[in-house]
Structure formats: structure tokens, C-alpha cells
């Protein structure tokens, strides 16, 4: 049987190839408008998203998240977070905690943090990530997807 048909004999329509640029965030701002994209710290070849974090025990650190949607690669510049650990995320420029959309619907422990993609500061044009390391929601995603998933 030809691979172009599924089990019921229907023609499989190949998924549209998404141009890579659509999947890479080139601007990510805190509520004060500080752009947290770091030209200095590239991840998988693209400028990463630099964030400060604070642990429950008060320890602080700095992490760079991958700017590629759905990619959970991250690099710690200072400090470390264990798998399964939940932290607070802050803007490394103004030191304010980033806006939170809700608790995570996936792990139930982390918070869904928000970074804005433009200066309308709309939750609808933003990216989100869960604050629990290792949660499938901890890689960045478009906020409209998560808003739909949460039924907000």
C-alpha cells in the first residue's frame, strides 16, 4: 500500500512546512519593555532569551532559554535548577518578576510566565513558558495556544 494513503485509504495531506523564521522569537520583553533577547548568548545558532531566576531558598541565577518555539534547550550562566524544580523568573534588567498568566495546566505546580512580543504588551501576542524545569510547557510557546488550552 502506498504511503500517501492512511489506514482508511484517505490521501494523506503533507503538513505545510513552516518557515523556520516563524518559529524563532526575535523580541521578548518584560512588562517594562526591556528586550531580553541576548545577541551574546546564542542557543542552537540563534540569540537566546536571557532571564534571571530566584529559587524558593533565595538562591539566584541567570538562564538563557532557546528562542525556538518548542525547544527546551537552556543554558545556565549562573546557578543551576534541578529537574522538577520550580523557580520565579525575573527580568535581569529591572529585576521585577515577569507577568504570570496562570498556574500550569500540565504539571499543576509551575506558573505560566509571559514575555511580550511587541509593545502592545498584550497577553495575546506573547510567548509563555512554565517555571518548572522539565515540564513539557517549559519550552516557549505562543500565548494564544496556551490561552486556548487553558480555556481563558
* Least distance to Zn ion, CB of residue 138, Å: 6
Given candidates 47, 67, 99, 110, which one binds Zn ion under the rule CB under 5 A?
Answer: 110
Classified as helix, coil or strand, 71 is coil
d(C-alpha 77, C-alpha 1), whole Å: 52
Residues contacting 152, CB < 8 A, separation 6+: 101, 102
Segment contacting Zn ion by CB under 5 A, of 1-9, 39-47, 118-126, 136-144: 136-144
Which three three-digit cell numbers place residue 95?
A: 529585576
User: How many amino acids of this chain bind Zn ion (CB under 5 A)?
Assistant: 14
Rank residues 12 and 70 by Cβ distance to Zn ion and give the closer one: 70
* Least distance to Zn ion, CB of residue 33, Å: 7
Among candidate residues 87, 66, 83, the one with its CA nearest the CA of residue 139: 66
Per-residue binding letters, 6-45, with Zn ion (x by CB under 5 A): ------------------------x-x-x-----------
Rank residues 68 and 131 by Cβ distance to Zn ion and give the closer one: 131
d(C-alpha 138, C-alpha 106), whole Å: 10
Given candidates 47, 116, 127, 132, which one binds Zn ion under the rule CB under 5 A?
Answer: 132
Which three three-digit cell numbers place residue 148?
A: 486556548
Q: Is 8 exposed, middle or buried (0-12, 13-18, 19+ CB in 10 A)?
A: exposed
**Is 93 among the residues that bind Zn ion (CB under 5 A)?**
yes
For Zn ion, the binding residues (CB under 5 A) are: 30, 32, 34, 91, 93-94, 104, 106-107, 110, 130, 132, 135, 137
Amino acid at each position: 500500500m502506498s504511503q500517501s494513503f492512511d489506514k482508511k485509504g484517505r490521501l494523506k495531506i503533507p503538513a505545510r512546512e513552516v518557515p523556520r523564521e516563524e518559529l524563532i522569537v526575535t523580541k521578548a520583553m518584560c512588562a517594562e519593555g526591556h528586550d531580553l533577547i541576548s545577541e551574546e548568548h546564542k542557543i542552537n545558532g540563534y540569540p537566546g532569551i536571557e532571564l534571571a531566576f530566584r529559587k524558593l531558598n533565595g538562591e539566584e541565577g541567570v538562564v538563557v532559554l532557546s528562542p525556538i518555539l518548542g525547544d527546551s534547550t537552556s543554558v545556565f550562566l549562573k546557578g543551576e535548577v534541578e529537574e522538577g524544580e520550580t523557580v520565579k523568573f525575573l527580568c535581569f534588567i529591572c529585576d521585577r518578576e515577569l507577568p504570570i498568566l496562570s498556574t500550569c495546566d500540565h504539571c499543576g505546580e509551575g506558573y505560566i510566565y509571559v514575555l511580550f512580543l511587541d509593545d502592545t504588551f498584550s497577553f495575546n501576542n506573547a510567548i509563555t513558558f512554565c517555571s518548572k524545569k522539565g515540564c513539557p510547557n517549559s519550552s516557549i510557546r505562543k500565548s494564544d495556544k496556551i490561552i486556548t488550552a487553558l480555556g481563558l
